[in-house]
Amino acid sequence: MNTSLDIDTILATDVGSTTSKAILIKKIMGEFRLVGRGEAPTTVEAPFEDVRVGVRNAVKQVEDLTGIHFLMKDRSLKKGTFYVSTSSAGGGLQIMVSGVIRRMTAESGERAALGAGAIVLDVISIDDGREIHEKIERMRSLRPDMILMVGGTDGGDKIDLIDAAELFVSAKPRPRFGIGFKLPIIYAGNCMIQNTIKDILGESFALRIVSNIRPTLDIEDTEPAREGVHDFYLEHVMSHAPGYPDLMKWTDIAIIPTPAAVGDICQMVAETQNINLVGTDPGGATTDIFSVFDGKFLRTVSANLGMSYSICNVLKEAGVANIMRWIPFSIEERELRNRLRNKMIRPTTIPPDFKSLIVEQAVGREAMRLAFKAHLSLATPLRGVKKKKDLGSLVRDNVKDPVGKTYIDRLRLDMIIGSGGVNSHAPRRVQSASVLIDAFQPEGITKLMIDSIFMMPHLGVLSKVKPDAALNVLTKDCLVVVGTCIAPKGLAKDGADALSITATLPDGTSLDKTIPYGTMEMIPLGERETINMVIKPQSGLNMGKGNGKSLETTVSGGVVGLIFDTRGRPLVLPENDKERREKLIKWYLSLGVYPEKILKGYL
């Protein structure tokens, strides 16, 4: 294994569920830059059943583009190549969480699993409303990669945890990979019964014990559980996946799950810039949401919301009306359903015309909106902190802990980063901006960024050993600064004055204008250009200083510039179909989201 950090050439791959992507990074004139990229279909399934085939094909494209060779004649990786990789092939890391109270310790376990880059298949708890036989049947049908078992404070609940452990022995759940392979269980519960848990589970499962995820009600420590998940992922899951044992011999550091790598790079951005951010990655089968807010990191995955394999699930979850509300032309429900079904059975196709593109971006808005809604439900303060009853009595007395309010305040959200095909590969960057604004409805002043070619996973794993290289490529080659969204919180009447703006533009021109409520406007401002601006909202609207109070701030531009969104928060579209389509066309025209000729043809 190459452990030297004095390197100037880095090869990185991401082995995705459908596509393996390779990038080449080199030090040029003292700084690390992207010099080549290639991709090829992932080969984890038959007939190849060896992920290295897809990796080699992606690397071969990099070789052809750059003239630099990494593969030997026997198709192995040349010695001395500094190589790192992430992976979500084979459906990614899939975990079942077992807890005591769903809204307390089980929720902490869910956060730990999601933060480790996993898809949570199910959360089993004593208060989930299922009978014992139903839980056993569910455990047997899931076939997870591992189980994360949590519950009880140190010295607290014992009986329910022991019952849960004995339930696993009765259910005998089997792992997804490996015949005769013991299913891994990570125990991160009450430390006082670790030996008892070992006696119950030690023979039937590959058990690892880590420190309690909730040692007290007011402390949540997910890091030991996350580390345990990662170690088991390499030791038990990756080692049984087709071709991974040999691929792991190529890498200079451990392969990590793709979502965990994206989370790492999001945290790096937030820490280096001292900001609050939200990141999104809508893929073919899932939509991941990442947030770093006041230093708290959280990742959630909506496993049924995707842009190809799961696109019909978005239709089901969002409903036809919510998808159609973003479409500026008249379309029958049957046609919409058929378009999405065709995408599901032909997942690698791209939109052949503007109508198809608009429909796909409408689905993207809803997938990210729903995923963010689910994210906010977990981005809450610790529940149960003020309860004085023991955990078991909370259930037995039917005392329900209320759902807490999210700690993510959109008025203090500094940045949104969009990744995934619907964001990264939009024909116009302003389309990506429009999709992100509609999906997340940012408030106040929010910078919009796009992962240009989906490099964030590669840079996330690279940040473990070469943070300077990862950060340099991230800022110079990966993230595209789309612009800044300026949007007041609150509602008003259409046509009323919403914002009064005063500023001096870089060319010396004075900007002094009023923006009416219910509109979207764009002012060009370059990526490296900043201006000081005074923004005065009307009474009832809030830019972060309070209702009707002025905000004096510095704003920066981007590829698109400054986008003023005075449509109101929360955003409500007209119910009348004709009125709604007219408004959409007006908004899209004001930003140049779609060509004027196309939009006016829909009137």
**CB 288, CB 306: distance < 8 Å:** no
399 vs 588: CA distance, rounded Å:
49
Cα 353 to Cα 65, 79, 359, 454, distances in angstroms = 30, 46, 10, 23
Across-strand partners of 446? Answer: 485
Q: What is the pLDDT of residues 202-227, one digit of tens each?
A: 999 999 999 999 999 888 888 899 88
Cα 553 to Cα 482, 531, 534, distances in angstroms = 19, 8, 6
pLDDT band, residue 87 (cuts 50/70/90): confident
Range in 189-203, 370-384, 528-542 the model is least confident about? 370-384
Helices (H), 172-310: 194-201, 223-232, 244-250, 258-273
Q: What is the rounded average pLDDT for all residues in the chain?
A: 90
Q: Give the pLDDT confidence score for residue 58 in this predicted structure.
A: 96
**CB 139, CB 164: distance < 8 Å:** no
SS3 for 434-503 is HHHHHHHCCCEEEEEEEECCCCHHHHHHHCCCCHHHHHHHHHHHHEEEEEEEEECEECCCCCCEEEEEEE
Instruction: Calculate what percentage of the chain has a pLDDT beyond 70.
Output: 94
Q: Give the pLDDT confidence score for residue 181 in this predicted structure.
A: 80
Q: Which helix (H) or strand (E) holds 600?
A: helix 596-600
pLDDT at 346 over 80: yes
Beta strands in 206-343 (DSSP E): 206-209, 256-257, 277-282, 287-293, 296-302
> Please, what is the angle between helix 311-318 and helix 354-378, to 10°?
70
Q: What's the one-letter identity of residue 118? A: A
State the CB neighbour count (10 A cutoff) for residue 369: 18
Listing DSSP states for 9-66 in one string gives EEEEEEE-SSEEEEEEEEEETTEEEEEEEEEEE--SSTTT--HHHHHHHHHHHHHHHH
564 vs 568: CA distance, rounded Å:
11
pLDDT at 47 over 90: no
Q: Give the pLDDT confidence score for residue 242 in this predicted structure.
A: 84
pLDDT band, residue 348 (cuts 50/70/90): confident
Q: Which phi and psi angles does 535 have, rounded to 5°?
A: -120, 120
Residue 71 DSSP symbol: B
Q: Please state the length of the chain.
A: 603
pLDDT band, residue 169 (cuts 50/70/90): very high
3-state secondary structure of 332: coil
Q: Give the pLDDT confidence score for residue 300 in this predicted structure.
A: 87
pLDDT at 174 over 80: yes
Which of 8, 133, 60, 122 has the alpha carbon at shortest distance from 468?
8
Q: How far apart are the first and last CA of the chain?
A: 63
> Please, what is the angle between helix 223-232 and helix 105-115, to 10°?
50
pLDDT band, residue 384 (cuts 50/70/90): low
Q: Give the pLDDT confidence score for residue 391 in this predicted structure.
A: 40
Helices (H), 71-158: 105-115, 132-142
Give 327's Cβ-side CA count (13 Å radius).
Answer: 23
Q: Give the pLDDT confidence score for residue 212 in this predicted structure.
A: 95
Q: What's the one-letter identity of residue 177? A: F
Cα 323 to Cα 235, 361, 420, 579, 595, distances in angstroms = 43, 9, 19, 16, 21
pLDDT band, residue 394 (cuts 50/70/90): very low
**CB 454, CB 4: distance < 8 Å:** no
pLDDT at 2 over 60: no
Cβ-in-10-Å burial (0-12, 13-18, 19+) of 167 comes to: middle
Which of 101, 20, 512, 449 has the alpha carbon at shortest distance from 266?
449
pLDDT at 68 over 50: yes
Burial 312-335, CB ≥16 within 10 A → b, else e: bbbbebbeeebbbbbbbbebeeee
Range in 186-200, 391-405, 525-539, 557-571 the model is least confident about? 391-405
Residue 4 DSSP symbol: -
Q: Give the pLDDT confidence score for residue 256 in this predicted structure.
A: 87
- Kindly tell me the sign of the dihedral angle through the C-alpha atoms of 403, 407, 413, 419: negative
Q: What's the one-letter identity of residue 591? A: L
569 vs 435: CA distance, rounded Å:
16
**CB 394, CB 101: distance < 8 Å:** yes
**CB 571, CB 543: distance < 8 Å:** no
Q: Which domains, and CATH codes, for the chain?
A: 9-90 (3.30.420.40), 92-240 (3.40.50.2300), 253-315+327-367+406-487+573-603 (no CATH)
Categorise residue 152: left if φ over 0, alpha if ψ from -120 to 50, beta otherwise: left
Q: What is the pLDDT of residues 460-495, one digit of tens each?
A: 999 999 999 999 999 999 999 999 999 999 999 998
Q: What's the one-letter identity of residue 464? A: K
pLDDT at 508 over 70: yes
pTM, entire model: 0.85
Beta strands in 276-405 (DSSP E): 277-282, 287-293, 296-302
Mean pLDDT, residues 237-262 = 85
